[in-house]
Chain A
Amino acid sequence: MVLMVSTKADIIARLRRDILPLGGFRSAGHGHDVIDLGPINQAFPDGAFPLGAIHEFISSGIEDTAATSGFILGIISRLAQKGGLTLWISDSRTLFPPALLLFGVQPDNIIFLDLERELDCLWAAEEALKSEGLAAVVCEVQNLSFTASRRLQLAVEGSGITGFIFRKNPRKLTPTASIAQWKITSLPSETAEDMPGVGFPRWQVNLTKVRNGKPGSWQFEFAGKNFRPLPTLRAVPQQLQKKAV
């Protein structure tokens, strides 16, 4: 009898695996081979960066926007490795295509949709997330209501595309249905042996909210083509959770 020999821990582990897809996470282990964020992986309930979900990025100020777009592009470069296209929807775009090469993204593999109204952006994002054939969808908006985020999350659960909602200078941080909420800020770079000049981009990566996971804060460097975690302080999750609220 299988049930008899399986221990309590096994049963719990299996139940967890069953519950995860119901919470919006795709099959476990999906993101392992594609995106390896080192210590951040453990913050997610199944130990891998969730694909086929909505990630929300908050940025205040254009400096943070630049840092956040760098981090997103680092992830997209992995998602689009097989030549997939990314749709970048925005109502106020300042992204400069030639810079994407720095993060391993071919600028001609991104299709930009520049709209005027936020509602149109969200409509387009939902439509894009529903269809198959894109590697990722990025939607730059200022505000995201709970209903809108639910719609987007439901759309990705059907298609399995990873969506990035990039909220620039949000007026109010209301709860949303996205799986994770990130906040990326720049850190001073360092050069080898204190050589003059500006080094690789470094970021403070704050995972302020994650469904069923452990929020935290890490420092990363994007060295050439890979995320490299910096061996610094581990974050205290409780503090950050308070901050996020």
Chain B
Amino acid sequence: MTKRFVAIWFRYLKTDWYIRRIPGLAKTAFVLSLPDHGRMVVTAINAIAQQRGIYAGMSVADARAIFPALHVLDDKPGHADTILKGLADWCIRYTPCVAVDMPEGLVLDATGCAHLWGGEKNYLQDITMRLQHLGYQVRVSMAGTIGAAWALSRFGEPLAIIEPGGEKDALSPLPAAALRLQAATLERLQKLGLRQVGDFMEMPPSALRRRFGEAMLQRLDQALGTEEEHLQPVVPVEDHQVRLPCMEPILTRAGIEIALQTLLENLCARLKTEGKGLRTAVFKCFRVDGKIMSIDIGTSRATTNVTHLFKLFETKLDTIEPALGIELFLLEASKTDDVSPVQKNIWEKNAGLQNTALFELLDRLGGKFGMHRLHRYLPDEHYWPERSIKPATSLSEQLTTAWKVERPRPQQLLARPEPIQVTAPIPDYPPMLFRYKGKLHTVKKADGPERIEQEWWLQEGQHRDYYTVEDEEGNRYWLFRLGHYDADKTPGWFLHGFFA
């Protein structure tokens, strides 16, 4: 497919932005200024100021001398970048691939997009009209190369469209500056009297290279299409992205649901043909007022089940505020995985980790509460009770070591052992009595001790001697003594768990 690019030039980018915020400025001449080498320098001007002969780069004092009633506002460094990024996001409605072209433009890769607006002319008109509606004065043009589109937008007719192959004719009457050349190169061309692109376009490349350097030849080739130029889109173009523009802004939940359903069906059908399944997805809603609302979901395994995915989104649909209406819906699969062939026969009713219904349930629970709330535990190679289990990294992770069954472990384990008072014969007998939370328990039966040493390479500390004891009521406890009996101190006793 032949490439088509659109260049948008915001002639008064920063001042238009100020007029949008403060509409009163529209009728006055005003400039933005920044300090530079100890004086205030004009960095941006509006149309009225320009008519008065003020230009960017002159000092504020000079500008005031020309036009004393001039308004001077403070500029912010990097402000143009922020505005352009916002506008680039906004322009996603025209094409998925939008790049910022500093200092005051955007470049759109419009390949295969214009026919959706009923032709290239309508496409450009729509862009111009909507941006003007937002308050920006723009010049827009379309060509087969980025360079030509850029040149035409700055120096050509408004809404210029160059057919593929027509770059040479279109560029030749334009001034040399249309080629995005460096100031030094432009100056030299000027000195030599090469004022129009046509003057030097046909010169042998070796001669041009010798006098003006490689960069100039590259710009010329890029404009003419002999060398390819790549865009750096503000939003990386997703492979799996579907979009649904709306004729009328959508305001209702029912409408949003229909859009989501349609997009999911399209995306899943596409993923199916590629043998892929969706892992994470983002659903974006572009509002009329320029805001973007988005919700995202994740699944624990690749899936193309529309009903399931819809349910995952459904729990989060409440967070979308349509405000004045949504004019574009966009669904992209930010992460996809190959669907394993095993998955195809799991619609059979088998329980276990291969069960799709289960995974869908876990997705729903994880989607609502966060995946970090779901835990599955695997054995770890430690005897120390608190370290004997580790959380599984995924819900389908397999065991690497077997569970230890030789020693009984309590059903209920306190996160932090609680101190108890005991009466116990020394040196290594279970207690006869113990007091826990003010209640005295008489030990009738006991097992132990089971000595568990502290793992010195992980943590310093004393060993624990565990006893399983049963009191007169039949309740079973897991107690331990921390360390040995010493001459100078008595060891602490703790209650750590409860047996069934």
- Which A residues lie at the B interface, using CB under 8 A? 62-63, 65-67, 69-71, 73, 80, 82-85, 87, 94-103, 106-108, 110-115, 120, 123-124, 127-128, 131-135, 185-189, 191, 196-199, 201-203, 222
Contact = CB atoms under 8 A, between A and B. Distances in A.
B343 interface: no
A123 B475 CA distance: 33
A93 to B, nearest CB: 9
Nearest to A67: B500
Contacts of B414: 94
Contacts of A120: 369
Contact of A197 (B365, B409, B446): B446
23 contacts: A67-B500, A69-B500, A70-B500, A84-B351, A85-B355, A85-B358, A96-B411, A96-B497, A98-B385, A99-B408, A99-B411, A101-B409, A107-B379, A112-B374, A112-B377, A113-B374, A114-B373, A131-B358, A133-B351, A185-B474, A189-B476, A197-B445, A198-B469
B357 A63 contact: no
A97 B497 CA distance: 12
B378 interface: yes
Given A66-B499, A107-B403, A198 B411 contact: no
A165 to B, nearest CB: 17
A155 to B, nearest CB: 12
Given A113-B365, A198-B470, A70 B411 contact: yes
A108 B378 contact: yes
B426 to A, nearest CB: 19
Given A114-B375, A133-B356, A95 B412 contact: yes
Contacts of B361: 87, 127-128, 131, 133-134
A128 B365 contact: yes
- Of all A-B residue pairs in the complex, the 4 with the closest CB atoms, nearest first, are A70-B500, A84-B351, A133-B357, A96-B413
A66 B498 contact: yes
Contacts of A112: 374-377
SS class, residues of chain B in contact with chain A:
mixed
B253 interface: no
Main secondary structure of the interface of A (DSSP, over half): mixed
Given A83-B351, A188-B445, 16 more contacts: A62-B412, A69-B411, A70-B411, A83-B352, A96-B409, A96-B413, A97-B377, A98-B379, A101-B403, A102-B409, A114-B375, A132-B349, A132-B357, A188-B472, A188-B474, A198-B468
A84 B358 CA distance: 10
Interface stretch (B166-174, B205-213, B388-396, B454-462): B388-396
Contacts, number: 176
A58 B399 CA distance: 34
B278 to A, nearest CB: 19
A71 B358 CA distance: 25
Nearest to A79: B351
Contact of B358 (A97, A133, A186, A203): A133
Contacts of A188: 444-445, 470, 472-474
B369 to A, nearest CB: 6
B405 interface: yes
B412 A111 contact: no
A113 B364 CA distance: 12
A19 B91 CA distance: 65
Nearest to B311: A127
Nearest to B444: A188
A134 to B, nearest CB: 6
Contacts of B349: 132-133
Contacts of A85: 351-353, 355, 358
A193 to B, nearest CB: 14
Contacts of B379: 98, 107-108
B362 interface: yes
Nearest to A186: B474
Contacts of B444: 188
- Of B360, B377, B408, which is in contact with the most chain A CB atoms at under 10 Å from its CB? B377
Contacts of B468: 198
Interface string B418-455: 00000000000000000000000000111100000000
Contacts of B374: 111-113
Contacts of A63: 473, 475, 498
Contacts of A83: 351-352
A192 to B, nearest CB: 13
B447 A197 contact: yes
A120 to B, nearest CB: 7
B404 interface: yes
A209 B412 CA distance: 26
